[in-house]
A and B are shown apart, each in its own frame.
Chain A
Amino acid sequence: MFNSFIFDIGKEIDIKKLTKSKRFIKIPNDNNFVFSCVDDKLYFIVFKNGKVRITYPGGDLDSLKTRVSGSAAKIAALFKELSSQSGIKFNVQKVIASGKIEDSDDEFKCEQIGVESIPIVIFREISIFSPIKLFGEYNTERLHTFAGEKFGRFLKAESKEKLEKEIKYFIESNNIGEVEILKIEEDQFGKKPFSSFRVYKSKFVYGLPPTGKSECFFIQALARGAFAKYLQQENINVVETRCWRKGDVFCEFNVYILSKS
């Protein structure tokens, strides 16, 4: 179940125009949609087909409704910004009133992933879907983890910052996604991760319908292997806090060092 409010502007939107506004964030090399974060984790996503989706990943329908009504003024302001930046005139109140709750994921089915060596459908069939059918979800997850750690341990750097750049370079040069290294902030449990980064358009999940689970096991293990090798210790925990498959528009990873004996 992936509930969200869907609004229809009724006209195709030039996404490039919206990126001029500081309130909308663009995913690198993608002109399919832009998004904005309203308060905590409520997404306002504008698609080029004229649809607007408001979603609260990880939350149920009631929490979505509560958050949308609590942020009504900010949402109305975003619609106004959308109108002025795109140059499309529409009645904001009328569009908001036409909003419907749907659990479809049609707009998320993006096919615009840059492919340089192997078609994405074949890559995913070989690496994800067929292994799941043959060996089960857990063993497919282990397979990705094993491979990710192996590559992660090849990455070498003299400092944490350089290692983060190495990870970014590895992911981007291999066309796995686009990386943004984040400033360290406390997570929802009040813990500060050792490192934190975001991956846009992760090849393992981007464009697939939401399942509610984090599924970028290769990237997670890549970071785990890289930091385990760099820190010379195995007690590294990498948590994918956000994932496209959970309904987020990017994947986010926090690296933690566990306490040990």
Chain B
Amino acid sequence: MINKIKSGIAGIDEMLNGGIPEKHHILVSGGPGSGKTLFCIEYLYRGAKENDKGLFISLEEDPETLIQNVKGAFPGWKDFDQMLNKSIFIIKPAMYDFKNFSDILQSYVVHHGVKRVAIDSSTLLRFSFHETLEFRKRFIEFLGFLRNLDCTALITSELATPVRSKLKFSAEQFAADGIIVLYNMPRKEKRIRALEIIKMRGTDHSRDLVPMKITQNGIMVFPGEKLY
């Protein structure tokens, strides 16, 4: 039987029938402003509360900026500061170099006991490759390597088309163990947030498109509810 780790994000574990299968690596996909980064950081925050060390590899934002953004989005997380550098590590590699990025990840997992990893985002990892084919090959090898490490990773990826009916999936998404898609959908004169689990190997899961909210205390997903 596959062990599962609880994401801790309200509503997600229920949709996943208990949690994310351990040592599985999940793509968190979505368009701009859909909440991918916050989703990943909350995964680490909830893990830290359960004494799981987490590593956030930010390829885009500086750690300082990211921390300020997280504090702005989740002012209810009073203990977040105390967790930094003790149970949550936020790192930005010096350059978009796949090797250096892999070195840091391997080092934290093997020598620092990190159990939860978030990588933001796989889209920027492409920059260290001249050709898409080369990137895909390396990314699939990278997922294989991750499976041998004792960690469970969330990897964000941009969606070229954030429109649900026009979703297209790439080779990376076929290779990943799971795909969670976050939406920022237009509804009349505003946008509403929604989430769906497209795929999750090793567990049964909800196939509903459900509403999602970003509150002061974290993300909330509402399984069983319909979008309005």
Q: What is A's interface to B at a CB cutoff of 8 Å?
A: 136-139, 141-142, 145-146, 149, 153, 217, 220-221, 224-225, 228, 234-239, 256, 258-261
Contacts and interface: CB of A to CB of B under 8 A. Distances in A.
A142 B145 contact: yes
B141 A234 contact: no
A258 B55 CA distance: 14
Contact of A139 (B56, B67, B85, B145): B145
A141 B106 contact: no
Given A145-B106, A228-B107, A261 B63 contact: yes
A138 B142 contact: yes
Closest 6 CB pairs of A and B: A261-B90, A138-B141, A261-B63, A237-B94, A261-B84, A234-B107
B17 interface: no
16 contacts: A136-B137, A138-B102, A138-B145, A146-B110, A221-B103, A234-B111, A237-B94, A238-B100, A239-B95, A259-B62, A259-B64, A260-B85, A260-B89, A260-B90, A261-B64, A261-B67
A137 B93 CA distance: 21
Interface residues of B, number: 34
A136 B144 CA distance: 11
A225 B112 CA distance: 12
A142 B63 contact: no
B107 A149 contact: yes
B88 interface: yes
B191 interface: no
B111 A228 contact: yes
Given A146-B106, A234-B111, A139 B141 contact: yes
A1 to B, nearest CB: 14
B209 to A, nearest CB: 34
B126 interface: no
Given A149-B110, A260-B89, 18 more contacts: A136-B141, A139-B141, A141-B99, A142-B106, A142-B145, A220-B103, A221-B103, A225-B107, A234-B112, A235-B91, A237-B100, A239-B100, A258-B92, A260-B85, A261-B56, A261-B63, A261-B66, A261-B85
Interface string B63-90: 1101100000000000000001100111
B46 interface: no
B91 A145 contact: no
A3 to B, nearest CB: 18
A234 B107 CA distance: 7
A258 B93 contact: yes
Contacts of A261: 56, 63-64, 66-67, 84-85, 88-91
Summarize B's interface: helix, strand, loop or mixed: helix
B138 interface: yes
A237 B89 contact: no
Interface string B121-165: 000000000000000011001101100000000000000000000
B146 to A, nearest CB: 10
Contacts of A141: 99, 102
B5 interface: no
Contacts of B99: 141, 217
A140 to B, nearest CB: 10
Contacts of B144: 139
Interface in B19-74: 56, 62-64, 66-67
B66 to A, nearest CB: 8
A237 B98 CA distance: 12
Nearest to B94: A237
Nearest to B56: A261
A260 B145 contact: no
Contact of B104 (A136, A139, A225, A237): A237
Nearest to A142: B145
A9 B125 CA distance: 47
A260 B141 contact: no
A256 B137 CA distance: 28
A142 B105 CA distance: 11
B120 to A, nearest CB: 13
B222 interface: no
B167 to A, nearest CB: 28
Nearest to B83: A261
B108 interface: yes
A260 B102 contact: no
A145 B90 contact: no
